[in-house]
Amino acid sequence: MHTNGNAAEVLPETLGTNHLHPVPKLLSDEEKIAVIRLHFGKIMETLGLDMTDDSLRDTPQRVAKMFVKEIFRGLDERHFPNITTFGNNYGYSGMLVEKDITLHSFCEHHFLPIIGKAHVAYFPGKKVVGLSKLNRLVGYYAKRPQVQERLTMQIAQGMQEVLGTEDVAVYIEADHQCVAARGVEDTKSSTITNYFGGRFQEPEERQAFLAALK
Please give the CATH topology (third level) of the domain spanning 23-71: GTP Cyclohydrolase I; Chain A, domain 1 (1.10.286)
Residue-level pLDDT, tens digit, the chain, 214 residues: 434 444 445 455 445 566 776 666 789 999 999 999 999 999 999 999 999 999 999 999 999 999 999 999 999 999 999 999 999 999 999 999 999 999 999 999 999 999 999 999 999 999 999 989 999 999 999 999 999 999 999 999 999 999 999 999 999 999 999 999 999 999 999 999 999 999 999 999 999 999 999 9
Is 79 annotated in the active site? no
Whole-prediction pTM value?
0.89
- Sign for the CA dihedral angle at 207, 90, 156, 186 comes to positive
Q: Where in the chain is the domain with CATH 1.10.286.10?
A: 23-71
Q: Where in the chain is the domain with CATH 3.30.1130.10?
A: 82-212
Please give the CATH topology (third level) of the domain spanning 82-212: GTP Cyclohydrolase I, domain 2 (3.30.1130)
Sequence-ordered alpha helix ranges (H) in 47-130: 59-66
In this structure, are residues 169 and 208 in contact, taking their beta carbons and an 8 Å threshold?
A: no
Q: Which candidate in 98, 107, 146, 205 is catalytic? A: 107
In this structure, are residues 171 and 118 in contact, taking their beta carbons and an 8 Å threshold?
A: yes
Q: Which candidate in 98, 146, 148, 157 is catalytic? A: 148
Give the Cα separation of 110 and 209 in Å (integer).
Answer: 33
